Amino acid sequence: MSRQLPLILFFILFLFCSSLLTVNAQVGPLVYKNYYVKIIILNDCSALLSYDMELENTGTVPVVPGYGLINLSSGKVVSASSSVMGRRGEAVIEGNAVRYSVWEVINPGKSIKVEVNLTVSGFLNKGILFDEFQATIGPISYPVIRGDVVVVPPAGKSIVYLSKSSLNAMKPGDIARVRGELSSIPLPLLPFSWYPVFWTAVIAVILLAFVIRRVRR
């Protein structure tokens, strides 16, 4: 139960905040043909978020996106960079947002590749033996055709629990969540969080040892 409580609180908090999270979902010709997010967690608990996007124009006239925005509802952006079609682009930190520029003309049926990298602080929540992270990706302004989120742990730690929803076929307004646990202990990857199990087992062993000793007396 103690594990579920924070999750419930987070969920309630999310519902409360969700009205603030809406993005401009005007139907338009642009779609994300590919939308891949790589989360590289660093040893200082910060993370490098790498957005690898391919924007396709499904309309009948050329378009220019102009500016793109990645807004962080929580956390702090430490640094940002971008590239458009492999060339270094503009990326400006504006408060909790990164504004990047896309001045390529996307002709009908064509697509362009945009990569935005931002380093955010406080991504990982440190524990004693287990560190946790949780992120919500989206809403995204255009539909996503293919997408995924990949988590890379820092050196010396491994992912012992990972739960994530796919970014495939995401529609504007949808969100995807990724949640996971890291540990220096070489434990196998489980479909549920390790630390309640681990520490419950430790407590059980202590209590069992105590009971056995009492019985022997």
Partner 1 sequence: MKKIATLLLVLLLLPGLINTRAASTPMPIIVKEYLNATVVTDGSGHYYCGPWNYTGYITVLNNNTGETISDIWLPVYVPSGVSIAVYSYPSYATVVQGTPPSYVSANNPSANAYWHINQLRSGDSVVLKYTYTGSGCSPLLVNETYLPYKIVNLQSSTVNVNISIKNGFSFKLGVKVKKILPADNGKEGWLNTTSNPVFISAGTPTVGGTGLSPNGKELSWTGTGAWPDNWFFLDAGATGLVKNVQIQGTPDLSEVGGYTKKIPLGTIYVYFYANQTFTGLKIGKVFAVGNANVEAKKEQSTTTPSTWYETLVFYDTSGVFKYDLFNTTIWATTGNTPDSTLITGSRNSQQTFNITQLLPSGSYTYGPFSFTYSGVPKIWGLAKFRISNDQNKGWWNYTNATYSTDSSGNSRYQVIEEIWAVNGYLVKARKEIRATSPNNYSIAIALSNIGQWMSPYVEMYDVVPLNFAPSPSATEGGMIFRPLDMLAQDANPASPPDYSLITSPTGYTKGYVWKSYPLPAPQLGFAEYFRGTGSSNSKTVTVTLADGTTRQWTVYPVDPNTINVNGTNYAKKSNITVGTGASQTTFNVTFVDDNLTSATSGGYVVVSAYGYYPNLKKKVFNPVFVRYFVYGSGNYNATNLFIVGVDPRNTLDVLAVSAPEARMSYGTSNFEIVFVIAAIAASIIAVRKR
How far is residue 57's CA from residue 69's CA, in Å, rounded to a whole number?
18
Confirm or reject binding of residue 33 to partner 1 (CB under 8 A). no
How far is residue 193's CA from residue 182's CA, in Å, rounded to a whole number?
10
How far is residue 79's CA from residue 46's CA, in Å, rounded to a whole number?
11
CB 71, CB 95: distance < 8 Å: no
Confirm or reject binding of residue 125 to partner 1 (CB under 8 A). yes
Exposure of 82 in the CB half-sphere (CA atoms within 13 A): 21
Confirm or reject binding of residue 147 to partner 1 (CB under 8 A). no
Binding mask 45-64 for partner 1 (x = CB under 8 A): --x-x-x-x-x---xxxxxx
Closer residue to partner 1 in complex, CB, 5/155? 5
Confirm or reject binding of residue 196 to partner 1 (CB under 8 A). yes
Confirm or reject binding of residue 136 to partner 1 (CB under 8 A). yes
Q: 185: closest CA among 193, 194, 176? A: 194
Q: 82: closest CA among 55, 100, 95? A: 100
Among 24, 79, 163, 168, binds partner 1 (CB under 8 A): 24
Confirm or reject binding of residue 182 to partner 1 (CB under 8 A). no
Which region among 119-127, 152-160, 184-192 touches partner 1 (by CB under 8 A)?
A: 119-127
Which region among 26-34, 151-159, 184-192 touches partner 1 (by CB under 8 A)?
A: 26-34
Token pair 């931002």 in the structure block, residue: 118
Which region among 96-104, 157-165, 184-192 touches partner 1 (by CB under 8 A)?
A: 96-104
Confirm or reject binding of residue 168 to partner 1 (CB under 8 A). no
Shortest distance in whole angstroms from residue 48 CB to partner 1: 13
Shortest distance in whole angstroms from residue 84 CB to partner 1: 9
Confirm or reject binding of residue 210 to partner 1 (CB under 8 A). yes
CB 64, CB 108: distance < 8 Å: no
Shortest distance in whole angstroms from residue 45 CB to partner 1: 11
The tokens of 132 are what? 């946790």
Q: How far is CA 203 from CA 5, 127, 182, 190, 193, in A?
A: 20, 17, 21, 20, 17
Closer residue to partner 1 in complex, CB, 189/207? 207
The tokens of 145 are what? 């055709």
Using CB under 8 A, count the residues that bind partner 1.
Answer: 80
How far is residue 103's CA from residue 63's CA, in Å, rounded to a whole number?
10
